[in-house]
Amino acid sequence: MLNIFNSFTRKREILKINSDKMIKMYVCGATVYDFCHIGHGRTFIFFDVVSRYLRHCNYKLKYVRNITDVDDKIISRSVENNENISDLSNRMIYQMNQDFLKLNIDIPDYEPRVTENISCIIKFIANLLENKFAYISGNGDVKFSIDRFPSYGELSQRRVEQFNISKTAFKSNSERNPLDFVLWKLKAKDNKYSWTSPWGRGRPGWHIECSSMSTSILNDRIDIHGGGKDLLFPHHENELAQSTCINRKFQVHHWMHTELVIINNKKMSKSLGNALLLKDLLMNYDSESIRLFLLSTHYRHPLYFCESGLRRSEILLRKLYFSLRNVNLTLLDESGNSHFKLDFYKALDNDFNIPIALSILFRISREINILKSKYSFKNSKIIELAFLLRELGSILGILFHDPEFFFQKNDQPFSNEVKNINYFIQKRNSARRQKQWVKADKIRNYLLGLGIILEDSKNNTFWRKLR
């Protein structure tokens, strides 16, 4: 059974499954005022693995990941760039899709945009106003009244009285609580980034957008609601308040949040100027290695970014592909049950412990290499394990390349040296056949000095780059 940590209850719980085996998952997507950074990459790669595993387990998944294509940041950036807001958002969405394609992040079942759901959002706000969960403030904005939702703060475990609210804040907004948040921002009539509503031209607030889009697609039940930890408060707290007030039957069974990325012992943040953009990272590192790196730390632990970690992921990925090399996987249709597979499933069932799941892949890889050193590559056990390695890797979204293509792609800078490397390998093999072990070791060490690692099987010697 799948156990996941619920951010609401602060404990692990068995994932609730309806009799129809339908799982509804909503993940808060990107606000497209800028390019995606590795924090986005970490979150969306993790939930991509969640969706892959649920589908692998034959659940009927309905996966929604929204796009926020209008808000204050997008408007400010469009003015700064002297760029039309739709041109800006479309440009960022295009780059996001390119990044996600390279990182092998599957497209969700639904990807609603705010600008395509304005009428739905207006109806949602009107319902809140009608039932007196919202009000029109002195400046014309429509605001949600947190006093009408006594459970406010439960998700983030914050009591309203703990918030530091000055007396001047109450005076400046004497009508209601200064913690009340905006549902509809009233704008001037000539504002081109606004829509007509019963309360005047304006645009929606951030929190109401997700509540409206998630419930319009998934109705009154969300089994998994995910996002980065930075969204826990106020965004998800406000989402929960709105959605529950609009429909008392509404419930989120499990809240899941990915931890932050740390760079030089500081939280990665665009405001701090230390954000690493995915598009820049993808120019310097193999995309599959980046994915492996972002999965190498448990999702509820901070991810400490360092180049050495990325380099290590490149080496580890090469080791996995090396195990698959020269094995004909077309001879099998499916893998059988094995202790490796059961251990892999057990790791993912344990709050998606992907680092442990990865360790299972390396155990399989080592077993394959041991067998390769003893038997022909056509050995049935080798083929079975290689097929299993590829199958389990696909759940994590890795090992999808043909091994030869992978090495050719990643070894292109060495293309002019391949003949030279093969020449020394032939000389070393000749020395080994003649039991000239000292000479063979000297050649191995010489190649190692060039950054080339040799790996011997029963009948062949293969090489790979050391990074």
Tell me if 235 is assigned to a ligand binding site. yes
* Helices 85-102, 72-81: inter-axial angle, 10-degree rounding: 110
* Helices 437-449, 418-433: inter-axial angle, 10-degree rounding: 160
The structure tokens listed for 217 are 């697609």
Contacts of residue 251, Cβ cutoff 8 Å, sequence gap at least 6: 220, 221, 222, 244
End-to-end CA distance of the chain: 39
Tell me if 192 is assigned to a ligand binding site. no
The structure tokens listed for 90 are 């479309």
Cα(154)–Cα(280) distance, integer angstroms: 39
Whether cis (ω within 30° of 0) applies to the bond prior to 234 is: yes
Exposed/middle/buried for residue 282 (C-beta within 10 Å: 0-12, 13-18, 19+): middle
Tell me if 254 is assigned to a ligand binding site. no
Contacts of residue 401, Cβ cutoff 8 Å, sequence gap at least 6: 288, 321, 409
Q: What are the DSSP calls for 322-343, one per residue?
A: HHHTT--GGG-SS----HHHHH
* Helices 85-102, 38-56: inter-axial angle, 10-degree rounding: 60
The structure tokens listed for 215 are 């419930």
Q: Are 411 and 325 in contact (CB under 8 A)?
A: no
Count helices and strands in the chain by DSSP H and E runs: 16, 15
SS3 109: coil
The structure tokens listed for 461 are 């010697």
Q: Are 147 and 181 in contact (CB under 8 A)?
A: no
The 10 Å Cβ neighbour count of residue 307 is 9
φ/ψ bin of 24: left (φ > 0), alpha (ψ from -120 to 50), beta (otherwise):
beta
Contacts of residue 392, Cβ cutoff 8 Å, sequence gap at least 6: 340, 341, 344, 357, 360, 361, 364
Q: Which residues sit in the known binding site for ATP?
A: 270
Q: Which residues sit in the known binding site?
A: 28, 210, 235, 239, 270
Q: Which residues sit in the known binding site for Zn(2+)?
A: 28, 210, 235, 239
